Amino acid sequence: MSVSTQTTVLSGHSIIAGRETPGNAGTTRGIDPATNAELEPAYTLIDEAQLAEATAAAEEAFESFSALDPETHAGFLETIAANIEAVGPELVDRAATETGLPKPRLQGELARTTGQLRLFARVVRQGDHRGVRIEPPLPERTPLPRPDLRQRKVPLGPVAVFGASNFPFAFSTAGGDTASALAAGCPVIFKAHNAHPGTGEIVGHALTEAVAACGLHPGVFSLVYGPGASIGQALAKDPAVKAVGFTGSRGAGTALMATAAARPEPIPVYAEMSSINPVFLFDSALRGDADEFARAYVTSLTGSSGQLCTNPGLLFVPAGEAGDAFLTAVDRALAGAEGATMLTPGIARSCRDGIDALGAQDGVEVVARGKEGATENAPAPVVFGTQVPTFLSNPVLQEEIFGASSLVIRYGSADDLVVAAARMEGQLTASLFLSEKDLPTAAPLLPVLERKVGRILANGWPTGVDVGDAMVHGGPFPATSDSRTTSVGTLAIERFLRPVAYQNIPDALLPAPVQAANPWHLNRRVDGRIELAGDSAEDRA
């Protein structure tokens, strides 16, 4: 394994199939949101002809990359992780300057990014994602003999991935969508987010060097900078691209979905877009230390300046003295909270506009407000309040505000919660704070939430997503474009695979996963039963 150790010299250009490629469509610059100062270097933007070079290279790389043996494939993912760690300090420094996010948060996110690459390396070695199923022939079966049938999952083809503004590592150049697509055997064309171009380039070089070190076709990965709408739409239209991974706004996500659906060959778009993550407080949850509970809520609300897709944007609080005491504690906790610098001036303006719009709605009032931050792009965190009937009658109250803002909804009975949950749009998460005596009251809410969200939590705040085998980070529209999948965790690899069956194909022509000898030592389902690697007659021989 070869590991990159040198400091990256930023070129300000795209990396197309291993080559630094100056763009022909103008320039953009990163901005330090703490000062609004433009950063060096300027980044050149590619045009559609140059984009076609990247997609063509990805198509050329697909055949060899999709057929990698598990050890070579896993080693490639591990090399990416090691290369990123080798440039970790400069990555964190650059990302902090480009995003305004605190370095401890970025260091944790960087560890998550390399950790998920290694997690997918484990998945590739184990091979269960290949979904091998074998039905041996039954020539004597009546009334018709059964043919020899063998099934596996194969990669879709090149994948276009779009970087997110709020996670410059974990949902960016080598983040979850890239990692899962590469693990599936799909080359990636990555559209860098223009809010943190330098960060993207440093990671792009680390990934490009891993491609070369592992002897892979250079078209396995390209990093492109371009005008967001035009290059994004061109990627979704390109016939070489077979799937899209996206994290961002509902408007941009639905535009990509429409373009992908209108192609002569429609393709899937896996878009994470909008969520306000309702939190339901039951009576017993408020019987403890109100100040401690309020501080936990404010911490979840204001972390990363509220710029998390799992931010608790709705909080259902029971009417009565306990609920009143809790909101008084929230007022105390938020009064000492100061706005943090947001990712970009545009995001900060949108947050302020959203807060103003919510505060102007009939029946909505301010419950608590923090302090304006030290910079122009650090709006004060705000908690608003309303009642269930107002929430149900005004769709504006379900609109996401990307920032440290939340709406408290006072309810009178558990029936109110069921009705409100049933009227909500799809969400990433829903959280329940309750004790054992609340279980009968909460039980009717669970079936409703299962239809509305991808992850249901008990006695925990939604911010913070564990990366593992059982995690679901997805949900019904508009949380995501496809509620059947996840963008976090090992199940994410399934998005970029499809099944193929082989009927009566001679063994010498079969791909390795379904050959009789099981040369890759995979777990396989044979005649309806799981056969662990090493248990087959061929392996024992």
Catalytic residues: 272, 309
| CA 235/CA 389 separation, integer angstroms | 44
Considering only CA atoms, give the Rg of the chain: 25
The answer to whether 159 touches 189, Cβ cutoff 8 Å, is yes
3-state secondary structure of 100: coil
Looking at the DSSP bridge assignments, the partners of residue 338 are 371
Report CA torsion sign: 289, 291, 292, 293: positive
Helix (H, G, I), strand (E, B) or coil at 268: coil
- Report the candidate in 156, 67, 192 with the shortest Cα–Cα distance to residue 499: 156
CA angle 89, 489, 107 (to 5 degrees): 15
Contact 198, 191 (CB under 8 A): no
Instruction: Give the strand order in the sheet containing 14-16.
Output: 19-21, 14-16, 221-224, 188-191, 159-162, 243-247, 269-272
d(Cα 320, Cα 328) in Å, to the nearest integer?
12
Q: DSSP readout, 320-386?
A: SHHHHHHHHHHHHHHHT-BPPPPS-HHHHHHHHHHHHHHHTSTT-EEEEE-B--SSTT-PPPEEEEE
If you count DSSP H runs as helices and E runs as strands, how many of each does the chain have, helices first? 16, 23
Question: For residue 145, what is the DSSP state?
Answer: P
Question: How are beta strands 188-191 and 159-162 bridged, if at all?
Answer: parallel
Cβ atoms of 88 and 103 within 8 Å: the answer is no
Give CA–CA dist 388/398, Å, rounded.
12
Spatial separation of the C-alpha atoms in residues 461 and 501, rounded to whole Å: 44
Show the DSSP H helices in 428-531 as ranges: 439-442, 445-450
Question: Structure tokens of 220?
Answer: 């396995």
- Please name the residue ranges forming H helices in 430-471: 439-442, 445-450
Determine the 3-state secondary structure of 497 from DSSP. strand
- Do 203 and 178 meet the contact criterion of CB atoms below 8 Å apart? no
